[in-house]
Structure 1
Amino acid sequence: MASHTAFSPSKHLTRANAFFDYDLKNRPYARLDLPSAKTARAREIQSVFLNEQGDLCPLAALHNLASVVPVLANDPLFLWHDSKGNICPMAKVRALEQINSILVAWGWGTTFGHSFRIGGASFYLAKKIDPEIMHIAGHWKSSPYETYIQAFKQISSQHLANTAAL
């Protein structure tokens, strides 16, 4: 979402779009049903599945969010309250400003939204996840993930080449 005023429950994630359950092996997961996505047809809902991830666990973060910022089902999933107590949806621009202020403070440079897509793809490639699974899970209708694979191969080969000199 580009701005706070652009929020629409029919287009953006709300608390009602988040579901918690257990898989067949009794492991917890969350399912986020996206009311709209650039990779979906009109009125097609796409689901994103999240599982436990250790210290940076998205499930724990979603549970914490629900307890720290209680809201109604049709309120934005990601939000904050302003100084007057009004609900403000998290806008992409504001989120990236906050993330970049932290990254710059730590001397790590800046990022842009699409960096998370390549970061996620690189993470799964490093975990030896089949690229076809990434293609399906990422709801890619084309093959941009192949660009990420090539970038990952180039970066990893540079790092591996440098390990021989250490």
Structure 2
Amino acid sequence: MLATLHRVLKLDNPFEACIWAVAACAFWGCMRFGEVTVKTRTAFSERLHLKRSDAFFGYDLDNKPYARLDLPSAKTAKPGEIQHVFLAPQNSLCALQALQNLFRVVPATSRDPLFSWRDKQGVIRPMVRDVALSFINSIFRASGWGTTFGHSFRIGGASFYLSQKVDPEIVRLIGRWRSLAYETYIRAFEQVNSRHTANLAGNYGY
């Protein structure tokens, strides 16, 4: 589904470049959709929402690129606590490339919304949740997929990581879950549980 979006979207279009950045970051960062969008155009707050200055690009100990998003507010964060979203390269569906493309196509100041686009009058607009989902779902329906919801990206990202045998503790850290309880609601975990836990007694000859 992510590949379908990437194939269809016009990444030189300000609105669609923002849509792709929203989708890629929400999926690979296991982010809540409310962390990459706002409820209404006027709802954006520098104190609550991601700004351009909250995105950092760097290199890790293996000299591989990564991005860090510093969330000024999050559902599970204490007042004043900043949570971090870490994004790694992902070939053609890369969130890092999606953000860098967004910055090129939609120039903005450090205080503007991270996930924003420019209308025909050149006005910066934050990406509104319902607008983004409606546009994304129009593509999915045209491609024969069902309707997706905001939380689908967070759940989908975590489910994908688990299906690729990423350690559940790493997935917990990616999604900023405070306990392994998140496994009880990830819909695909039952499909990959055996990869992590099956036949362990065989290690002891039983």
TM range (shorter): 0.7 to 0.9
Instruction: Measure the CA separation in 2 of the matches of 1:126 and 1:113.
Output: 21
RMSD between aligned residues: 1.8
SS in 1 for 2:121: coil
Alignment partner of 1:69 is 2:106: yes
**Residues 149, 5 of structure 1: alpha-carbon distance in 2 compared, 3 angstrom cutoff:** closer
Q: Deviation at 1:44?
A: 0.5
The letter of the residue matching 2:190 is K
8 Å CA contact 2:53–2:110 kept in 1: the answer is: yes
Q: Deviation at 1:109?
A: 1.4
Instruction: Measure the CA separation in 2 of the matches of 1:133 and 1:30.
Output: 17
Q: Deviation at 1:141?
A: 2.6
Instruction: Measure the CA separation in 1 of the matches of 2:131 and 2:65.
Output: 30
Q: Which has the higher contact order (CA 8 A, sep 6+)?
A: 2
Q: Note the alpha carbon deviations across 1:46-68, whole angstroms, 9 max, x for none.
A: 01010100010111111111111
Aligned to 2:144: 107
Instruction: Measure the CA separation in 2 of the matches of 1:134 and 1:61.
Output: 21
Aligned to 2:6: none
1:10-159 → structure 2 map (5 Å cutoff): 10-149=47-186, 151-154=188-191
8 Å CA contact 1:121–1:145 kept in 2: the answer is: no
**TM-score after normalising by structure 2:** 0.71
Stretches of structure 1 that go unaligned for 5 or more consecutive residues are 158-166
8 Å CA contact 2:65–2:88 kept in 1: the answer is: yes
**TM-score after normalising by structure 1:** 0.87
The structure with the greater share of residues assigned to helix is: 2
**What is the percent sequence identity of the aligned residues?**
62
Instruction: Measure the CA separation in 1 of the matches of 2:191 and 2:63.
Output: 38
Q: Deviation at 1:145?
A: 2.1
Stretches of structure 2 that go unaligned for 5 or more consecutive residues are 1-37, 195-206
